[in-house]
Amino acid sequence: MFPKWFDKWNRENPKEIFGPAIAISVVGGAVFAAALLVSFGQPYATESLQTGPRGTGMSVPEFKVDLAQPDPDIEAFLASTSDPVPPQGGEQTAGEARENVPPGLEDLTVANYDRLLAAMREWVGIPNLFDDLDSYQTSVGYLMIGMTQAINEEWAGHVNANKEVGVTCYTCHRGQAVPSNVWYRISPVNENVEGWSANQNRVTMQSQYTSLPSDALEKYLLDGEAINVHDLESRVAGVPGQDDYASIQATERTYSLMNYVSNSLGVNCLFCHNSRAFYSASGQITPQWATATLGIQMVLDLNNTYLAPLDGILPEHRLGPVYADAPKAACKTCHKGYQQPLQGTNVIADWPELASTDGPDYGN
């Protein structure tokens, strides 16, 4: 009646009567679960975002349940939004009626300035923002308004690649005085080790807790080094890193940056690259590749023009733990795990004051 191995087990192990039963139950349960999957399909259905030509494997699969889940920060942003008040002419300006008005906002009407100021205070979690002219937060805030306007005006090719989205203070800050996912210089991560091992094989946030180099954000998003990989031909003449092709170390650093970008946007490599022509930079890539490349250039500019110079303004407790440098931005500072910040919510439509240095367009 029973299999021979079952009878043999009972003869040799008269007291261990549960072992075979457990084994049969596990196998039977696995078979039953497999039968259910075959019969009814995967309980957590997936949907693929097509990122390139069909048949090339260029897609990003995501669980539908995740796609249906909105970013919780969207609701908080919408709650802080109010409609602009189109000027009718003759209104008093903020520069005339208010103190410590940030440069570039002096010509706003009092109604629009007050609504923007209330929103900015909520966005960055500083209730008294701009009250004290001597506060470092006021000085930083003045610069950050200029940075926000510059992003919307000069880098529209990135932030508005698919549609009007734009950025506001909330895009990065999300109600905190210091945005999450900023970074500081940390390399070398081990001063007692000479050579390349001082930059990798260490568990750091910058390397996404991998063994890849920890200085990728510093080299590519601050120093502006070229992002490239080793020559695809073997036995290339010359010295890697000196004769027009990257060294293995630079290649690993590039992979470290790409791993960071993938995690920042919640995508895989095929979101930008073509699996059958991975290293091709023309003709066989997705539109997202160009958008991401422009974004890298944008972050490089923002770090050098606006953020790195803040080390002369910020107090000591706001500076980096190793080199006392100012916090800097990278992809995750805005995206926070989504392909588009706040899942592509248009954050600039109701805040034209932050859209341009030329003054707001209220659509009159």
For 244-255, what is each residue's pLDDT tens digit? 888 888 999 999
Q: Within the chain, where are the H helices?
A: 4-12, 18-40, 64-67, 72-79, 94-97, 110-124, 136-154, 156-159, 169-173, 216-221, 248-265, 287-302, 331-335
CA distance 183 to 172: 13
Rg (CA), the chain: 27
Compute the distance between CA of residue 118 and CA of residue 129 in angstroms, rounded to an integer: 9
48-76 pLDDT, tens per residue? 777 766 666 677 777 666 666 789 999 99
Cα 7 from Cα 321, distance rounded (Å): 67
The percent of residues in the chain predicted with pLDDT above 70, rounded, is: 89
Average pLDDT score, the chain:
88
C-alpha span between 211 and 222 (Å, rounded): 21
d(CA 195, CA 213): 12
Residue 17 has pLDDT above 60, yes or no: no
Burial of 96 (0-12, 13-18, 19+ CB in 10 A): exposed
Farthest-apart Cα atoms in the chain, separation: 102
In order, the DSSP letters of 140-166 are: HHHHHHHHHHHHHHH-HHHHTSSS---
pTM of the model: 0.83
3-class secondary-structure state, position 72: helix
Nearest to 222 by CA among 185, 258, 173: 185
**181, exposed or middle or buried, with CB in 10 Å at 0-12, 13-18, 19+?**
middle
pLDDT for res 57 = 65
140, two tokens? 């930083």
Name which residue leads in pLDDT, 96 or 39: 96
